[in-house]
Structure 1
Amino acid sequence: MNNNVILGRTLTEWKLEFPLLNKLISTQEVFWTNPKYKTSKNHVPIQEKEILEAEERLIRFAPYIAQAFPETQDTGGLIESSLVPIPDMQGYLEKYYDLKILGRVLLKCDSHLPISGSIKARGGIYEVLKHAEDLAIKQGIMELDDNYSILNTLKFKEFFSGHSIAVGSTGNLGLSIGVIGAKLGFQVTVHMSSDAKSWKKELLRSKGVQVVEYGSDYSKAVEEGRKQAEKDPNCHFVDDENSRDLFVGYAVAAYRLKKQLDEMKIAVDSNHPLFVYLPCGVGGGPGGITYGLKQVFKENVHCFFAEPTHSPCMLLGLATGLHDQISVQDIGLDNKTEADGLAVGRASRFVGTVLEPILSGAYTIKDEELFSLLQALNNAENLRLEPSALAGMPGPARLLQADAGLEYLKKFDLENKMDQASHIVWATGGSLVPSEVMDQYLRKGTVDI
Structure 2
Amino acid sequence: MNRQNLIEQFPLIEKMKKAEEVIWFNPNLTKTEDALKNLSVTSEMVQDASDRLDRFASYLQIAFPETAKSNGIIESPLVEIPAMATAMKELFQTDFNGEILLKCDSNLPISGSIKARGGIYEVLKTAETLAIREGLLKETDDYAILANKEMREFFARYSIAVGSTGNLGLSIGIMSAKIGFHVTVHMSSDAKQWKKDMLREKGVEVIEYDSDYSIAVEEGRKQAEKDPTCFFIDDENSTDLFMGYAVAASRLKKQLEQQGKKVDEDHPLFVYLPCGVGGGPGGVAFGLKLLFGDYVHCYFAEPTHSPCMLLGMMTGLHEDIAVDEIGLDNKTDADGLAVGRPSGFVGKTMEQLISGSYTISDEKMYTLLALLADTEQVFLEPSALAGTTGPIHLASSGVALNNATHIAWATGGGMVPEHVKEVYYAKGKLLLNH
Question: Which runs of 5 or more structure 1 residues have no equivalent in the other structure?
Answer: 1-6, 410-414
TM-fit CA distance, 1:99: 2.2
Question: Percent identity of the aligned residues?
Answer: 58
SS at match of 2:19: coil
Q: Which moved more, 1:159-168 or 1:19-28?
A: 19-28
Whether 2:248 is the aligned partner of 1:256: answer no
SS at match of 1:302: strand
Whether 2:18 is the aligned partner of 1:26: answer yes
TM-fit CA distance, 1:101: 2.0
Whether 2:119 is the aligned partner of 1:124: answer yes
Whether 2:44 is the aligned partner of 1:59: answer no
Q: Deviations over 1:215-245 (max 9, x none)?
A: 0000000000000000000000000000000
TM-fit CA distance, 1:448: 5.0
List 4+ stretches of structure 1 deviating above 3 A: none
| TM-score for both structures, normalised by structure 1 | 0.94
Query: For the residues of structure 2 that align with 1:97 and 1:186, how far apart are their CA atoms?
Result: 48
Q: Deviations over 1:124-165 (max 9, x none)?
A: 000000000000000001111111011111000000000000
Among 121, 145, 153, the alignment partner of 1:150 is 145
Q: Deviations over 1:150-181 (max 9, x none)?
A: 11110000000000000000000000000000
Residue of structure 1 in register with 2:432 after alignment: 447
Does the 8 Å CA contact 2:32/2:289 hold for their aligned counterparts? no
Q: Deviations over 1:26-70 (max 9, x none)?
A: 111001100000124122110100000100000000000011101
SS at match of 1:84: strand
SS at match of 1:420: coil
Among 377, 382, 386, the alignment partner of 1:387 is 382
Query: For the residues of structure 2 that align with 1:15 and 1:57, how far apart are their CA atoms?
Result: 46
Does the 8 Å CA contact 2:164/2:217 hold for their aligned counterparts? yes
Does the 8 Å CA contact 1:168/1:221 hold for their aligned counterparts? yes
SS at match of 1:392: helix
RMSD: 1.0
Does the 8 Å CA contact 2:32/2:353 hold for their aligned counterparts? no
Residue of structure 1 in register with 2:104 after alignment: 109
- Give the aligned residue type for 2:120: I
SS at match of 2:388: coil
- Give the aligned residue type for 2:432: V
Residue of structure 2 in register with 1:3 after alignment: none
- Give the aligned residue type for 1:290: A
Residue of structure 2 in register with 1:422 after alignment: 405
Q: Deviations over 1:83-134 (max 9, x none)?
A: 0000000101111111222110000000110000000000000000000000
SS at match of 2:266: coil
Does the 8 Å CA contact 2:330/2:338 hold for their aligned counterparts? yes
- Give the aligned residue type for 2:121: Y
Residue of structure 2 in register with 1:431 after alignment: 414
TM-fit CA distance, 1:23: 0.8
- Alignment size in residue pairs: 429
Query: For the residues of structure 1 that align with 2:12 and 2:393, how far apart are their CA atoms?
Result: 17
SS at match of 2:157: coil
Residue of structure 2 in register with 1:171 after alignment: 166
| TM-score for both structures, normalised by structure 2 | 0.98
Whether 2:40 is the aligned partner of 1:45: answer yes
Query: For the residues of structure 2 that align with 1:39 and 1:441, how far apart are their CA atoms?
Result: 41
Query: For the residues of structure 2 that align with 1:99 and 1:391, how far apart are their CA atoms?
Result: 17
Query: For the residues of structure 1 that align with 2:164 and 2:250, how far apart are their CA atoms?
Result: 27
SS at match of 1:338: coil
Structure-to-structure mapping, 1:323-402, within 5 angstroms? 323-402=318-397
Does the 8 Å CA contact 2:97/2:403 hold for their aligned counterparts? yes
SS at match of 1:211: strand
Among 81, 91, 100, the alignment partner of 2:95 is 100
Does the 8 Å CA contact 1:241/1:350 hold for their aligned counterparts? yes
Does the 8 Å CA contact 1:103/1:421 hold for their aligned counterparts? yes
TM-fit CA distance, 1:447: 2.0
SS at match of 1:236: strand
Query: For the residues of structure 2 that align with 1:27 and 1:135, how far apart are their CA atoms?
Result: 46
Whether 2:77 is the aligned partner of 1:85: answer no
- Give the aligned residue type for 2:228: P
Query: For the residues of structure 2 that align with 1:106 and 1:16, how far apart are their CA atoms?
Result: 38
Does the 8 Å CA contact 1:90/1:101 hold for their aligned counterparts? no
Q: Deviations over 1:203-226 (max 9, x none)?
A: 000010000000000000000000
SS at match of 1:444: helix
- Give the aligned residue type for 1:447: L
TM-fit CA distance, 1:419: 3.5
Query: For the residues of structure 2 that align with 1:440 and 1:30, how far apart are their CA atoms?
Result: 28
SS at match of 1:219: helix
SS at match of 2:330: coil
Residue of structure 2 in register with 1:214 after alignment: 209
Residue of structure 2 in register with 1:242 after alignment: 237
Residue of structure 2 in register with 1:412 after alignment: none
Question: Which runs of 5 or more structure 2 residues have no equivalent in the other structure?
Answer: none
